Amino acid sequence: MLASLGLISLGLGIIGAFLPLLPTVPFVLLSAYLFAKSSDRLHNWLINHIIFGQMIRDFSEKRGISIWGKVTAIGMMWISNIISICFIVDDKLWMQILLTLISIGVTIQILRYKTKK
């Protein structure tokens, strides 16, 4: 059951890399946690993955996020949200405000993590 939830979470994380407002990192970290509790094989695969592995290891060992990771995450989030605000929800002021507030909150959260040297 937990392994299945981990696979679903990982799928959402991968989709989140391409869709605005669907986060990647929390879903990947949740997948790592669920795999650690349910499947050594899947957990080892994920923490040794070429794309996700270093991020998971750094986060779990409290090393922080690289400056490149912070800049990329914040930059991509704001670009996708600005595109969403301008072209998708351009006539809904409440949605524009909500997207902006979410972006501000996520930016603050990312910046609060220690910057890895």
In tens digits, the chain (117 residues) has pLDDT values of 999 999 999 999 888 878 766 778 788 888 999 999 999 999 999 999 998 888 888 888 877 788 887 888 888 888 888 888 888 887 889 999 998 998 899 899 889 888 887
- The structure's pTM equals 0.67
116 DSSP assignment: E
pLDDT at 106: 86
pLDDT at 4: 93
Residue-wise DSSP of 35-83: HHHH-HHHHHHHHT-TTTHHHHHHHHTT--EEHHHHHHHHHHHHHHHHH
pLDDT at 20: 64
How far is C-alpha 47 from the chain's CA centre? 15
